[in-house]
Amino acid sequence: MDKLRKTILIFTAALSLFAGACSKSSSSDSDSSSGESTDSSSQTSSESTAESSSSQSESKPEEKVMGERIKKAAAFFENPSYEFVCTVKGIGRDAKMTLLKDKGIIRQTTDYGDIKSYVVCTGNTTYRYDDKTKAFSRKVGEINEDPTGNLIVQTVKQSLEPTRTHIDPQEEKKYDAEEYTYTAGTYITVLDFYFDKTTGELKKYTVTYSIEGKDNEVETREIEKMSTVSADVPAFNEKELTDKGYVHFEGFTEQKREEFCRQVMRDNKITNETLYNVGLTTYDLKTVSYIDFASAVIAAGAKASEK
């Protein structure tokens, strides 16, 4: 399966389950030291109090606070209308991602050059489709779960821990930097955000993935545009897709789903071996989800272009 698509999906799904609450350490040391010198002179008592305060200050962990710049960047996506454009490089296939919002509709387009995939959120329904498989997925009730996988918003929403492990010293000379880390067992994601030193605008961010002890894989997203000028997001309805020949993936029986997937493989010259190399087997085709199959087709296109 396409590593880019897989890791983003895993990260977003994991974040939705992440509590994001950190318990504060207790102040028992303060309680035990408060009455140590009740029978001493005032000078001794004063010295003891000073030493106790110093000890508490030294033992108190440094408070880690989420930066104002990342909060401002996340708040951008709360606007009723916006356009966000970035390039994605480093894992899987390079792509250009455009996110538009207007009149209650959110439309994300990911352009891989030879393939485009889409996410459209309208009302409480999320549609996903692409122009290679010519299929679409319909899910009701997802819109509040951030179906576009916006890592900027999720970083703030889940109150990820500020860290300083992957920030590039050379980039920090040019930008103000903030870093946040998500950890779940052996799965670690580090996000480094780089902001303009003068305006505070987000210019780029990197996502470093480490899964089950494997070598780090780094994805870079460079921001081309963040604008709140009214975006041109056309109205959307399902008939628009069916009129163009798209088919509803969840509407298939297992047999029809397998037949459809095999036909897509034949049309795109995807062999069983290629399918296996990108994370699926022919045994999966009866029950495979739209996201997993479309991701495999996109990844297979990358494999073909490498030859």
Are both 165 and 268 inside the same structural domain?
Answer: no
For 228-281, the pLDDT digits (tens) are 987 778 778 899 999 999 999 999 999 999 999 999 999 999 999 988 888 899
Are both 262 and 187 inside the same structural domain?
Answer: no
Is residue 107 a contact partner of residue 143, using CB atoms and an 8 Å limit? no
Residue 34 placed within a domain: no
Contacts from 77-81 at CB under 8 Å and sequence distance 24+?
77/101, 77/150, 77/152, 77/153, 79/228, 81/228, 81/229, 81/230, 81/231
Residue 54 placed within a domain: no
Q: Which of 27-41, 92-106, 160-174 has the lowest mean pLDDT?
A: 27-41
Question: Given this model, what pLDDT does residue 10 score?
Answer: 37
DSSP, res 267: H
Contacts from 112-116 at CB under 8 Å and sequence distance 24+?
112/298, 112/301, 112/302, 114/301, 114/305, 115/297, 115/298, 115/301
Q: Give the rounded percent of residues in the chain with a pLDDT score beyond 90.
A: 49
Residue 232 placed within a domain: no
| Domain final residue, candidates 227, 261, 276 | 227
How far apart are the C-alpha atoms of 265 and 275, rounded to whole Å?
9
Are both 12 and 140 inside the same structural domain?
Answer: yes
| Domain final residue, candidates 192, 227, 262 | 227
Q: Residue 290 burial by CB count (10 A; 0-12/13-18/19+): exposed, middle or buried? A: buried
Question: Given this model, what pLDDT does residue 172 score?
Answer: 93
Q: Is the pLDDT of residue 3 over 70?
A: no
Question: Given this model, what pLDDT does residue 142 score?
Answer: 58
Are both 275 and 144 inside the same structural domain?
Answer: no
Are both 86 and 190 inside the same structural domain?
Answer: yes
Residue 46 placed within a domain: no
Q: Is the pLDDT of residue 22 over 60?
A: no
Describe the chain by its helix, strand, coil percentages, rounded to 5.
35, 30, 35
Q: How many domains does the chain have?
A: 2
For 116-142, the pLDDT digits (tens) are 999 998 888 899 999 999 999 999 875
Are both 168 and 294 inside the same structural domain?
Answer: no
Average pLDDT over residues 141-148: 57
Q: In the structure, what pLDDT confidence band is assigned to residue 214 with cuts at 50, 70 and 90?
A: low
Average pLDDT over residues 56-74: 73
Question: Given this model, what pLDDT does residue 14 score?
Answer: 33
> Which of the two residues, 91 and 74, has the higher pLDDT score?
74
Are both 117 and 199 inside the same structural domain?
Answer: yes
For 94-122, the pLDDT digits (tens) are 899 999 999 888 999 999 988 899 999 88
Is residue 206 a contact partner of residue 218, using CB atoms and an 8 Å limit? yes
How far apart are the C-alpha atoms of 140 and 143, rounded to whole Å?
8
Strand partners, 194: 177, 204
Are both 7 and 155 inside the same structural domain?
Answer: yes
Q: Is the pLDDT of residue 72 over 70?
A: yes
Residue 92 placed within a domain: yes
Q: Is the pLDDT of residue 32 over 70?
A: no
Average pLDDT over residues 49-55: 48
Q: Give the rounded percent of residues in the chain with a pLDDT score beyond 70.
A: 73
Residue 235 placed within a domain: no
Residue 110 placed within a domain: yes
Question: Given this model, what pLDDT does residue 48 score?
Answer: 46
CA 259 to chain centre: 33
Are both 212 and 256 inside the same structural domain?
Answer: no
Are both 152 and 206 inside the same structural domain?
Answer: yes
CATH of the domain at 194: 2.50.20
Question: Given this model, what pLDDT does residue 263 score?
Answer: 96
Residue 47 placed within a domain: no
Question: Given this model, what pLDDT does residue 109 score?
Answer: 92
Are both 89 and 219 inside the same structural domain?
Answer: yes
Are both 199 and 258 inside the same structural domain?
Answer: no
Range of the domain at 258: 251-306
